[in-house]
Amino acid sequence: MKLSSLLAFLPMALANGFPGGPGGPGCPSRIPNSVGNATGAEGCCCLTFKASCTMNLERAFHVKLFYNRKKGIAPEEFNDYWANKHSALATNFHLRMGAIRYSQVCCPESFPRCAFPRFNRVANSCTTAVPLHTRTPRSCSGGWRTADP
Partner 1 sequence: MDGGLPILEFDGAAEFWVPNLETFAAMGSDPEYVNVIQPDEANFIDAESMRLIVGVDYIVVENQNAVMEHGRTFPRTNYNG
Site pattern 101..140 for partner 1 (x: CB under 8 A): xxxxxxxxx---x-----xxxx--xx-xxx-xxxx-----
Q: Is 126 helix (H, G, I), strand (E, B) or coil?
A: helix
State the amino acid at position 13 in one-letter form: A
Q: How far is CA 107 from CA 21, 25, 64, 67, 134, in A?
A: 36, 37, 16, 12, 12
Q: Closest separation between CB of residue 29 and partner 1, Å?
A: 10
Q: Closest separation between CB of residue 24 and partner 1, Å?
A: 17
Residues 40-99 that bind partner 1 (CB under 8 A): 40-41, 49, 51-52, 54-71, 73, 75, 77-79, 81-82, 85-86, 89-90, 93-94, 96-99
CA gap 146, 149 in Å, rounded: 8
